[in-house]
Amino acid sequence: MFDVDELLGRASLKDRIDELEDENERLRARYEAESDRRAEATTARQEAEERINRLEDRIAQLEGELERVDDGDADVECRRHETIRGARLEEVVDRLTSFRTAEEGALTAVVDDGVDDLKGDLETDLDDVLGDRTALVDDAAPCLCCVDDAGLVSVALEPPIRPDHESGWDDRFVLDREWFLPTGRYVLALVRADLFAVGSYADGDRLDYRGFESDVKGNHSKGGFSQSRFERIRDDQIDDHLERARETLVETVAETDADRLFLVGQRGVLDALAAETTLEPDATAAVDATGDPKSAIEDAHRSFWTTDLTVL
């Protein structure tokens, strides 16, 4: 019996159709697989892009926080700063000395150059209480820093006399009135290149006074003197002035029963006088006192007995 399809030549066509359908299935499967891979790749790319965006947002956020922190450090300012003396200073000292807290709740720290010079764990303790404001203590140094562990009190003071105190925690702040206030009997001397004045005091009241001015050449002019000759003459005049000042100072101290000696005035001349005498000053300070000897020493005395107060 004849196969009609073979007779009509359709058998080869059907075989070809079958082959094409098989190839079509393979291509479809390949296409679908490729589509799946592309979909997975697209999804992966989208996920990667989303992650990149999140990371970039986080980086921007962190950079913003860092900028704010940097700006915050630069903008850390004390709450108040003032120079106090007299009754106002006495009131502040009394308030601080009246403060009471639990055992080891009040820190009194003598800071010479910076908080990193504090011994033991005191630097960490101070940083725990003040945080970023610890930098203000460095700015105020040399100073006496008083803080309590709750942060209710946080001040730095620069008294006329360096505190003789071992930094540490207690149930109160350790402040000696003699660091801040003109107490007891003392001698205060003012020295400039052309002026000297010295007074003896009791609790801030002047009991005696001596003073004089010396003829010391001022700035050099070209009127007949060479620069070197002018400077030599001026140096000799200053030496004579300091010798007279030294003698007057020694006499004044010998005639009084003062407990302390303070030297103030023009820094370079002041240091030279201190080096030339065997007397040991309890404190020295550069002050800008002008006028005749009597008014100058009043100005110097007032300037010396001041304290810089910084509320951290």
Q: Is the pLDDT of residue 109 over 80?
A: yes
Task: Judge contact between 307 and 85, C-beta under 8 A.
Answer: yes
Residue entry with tokens 């009084």: 256
Task: Judge contact between 200 and 185, C-beta under 8 A.
Answer: yes
What is the mean pLDDT of the segment spanning 96-100?
Answer: 96
- Give residue limits of the domains in the chain: 4-74, 80-180, 185-305
What pLDDT digit, counting tens, does each position of 34-68 carry?
767 776 767 777 777 777 777 776 677 667 667 66
What pLDDT sits at residue 32? 73
Instruction: Work out the pLDDT band at 259, boundaries 50, 70, 90.
Output: very high
What pLDDT digit, counting tens, does each position of 5-18 carry?
554 455 666 676 77
d(CA 302, CA 259): 19
Give the right CATH number for 185-305 from 3.30.420.60, 3.90.1170.50, 2.60.120.10, 3.20.20.10.
3.30.420.60
What pLDDT digit, counting tens, does each position of 113-170 carry?
999 889 889 999 999 999 989 999 999 999 999 999 999 999 999 999 999 999 999 9
Q: Is the dihedral of CA 9, 11, 12, 14 positive or negative?
A: positive
Question: Mean pLDDT over all residues of the chain?
Answer: 85
Instruction: Work out the pLDDT band at 260, boundaries 50, 70, 90.
Output: very high
Q: Is the pLDDT of residue 75 over 70?
A: no
Range list of H helices, 184-292:
227-255, 267-276
> In which element (H, E) is residue 10 found?
helix 10-74
d(CA 248, CA 309): 35
Neighbouring residues of 76: CB distance < 8 A, sequence distance ≥ 6:
132, 133, 135, 136
Q: Is 281 helix (H, G, I), strand (E, B) or coil?
A: coil
DSSP3 helix / strand / coil % (the chain, rounded to 5): 50, 20, 30
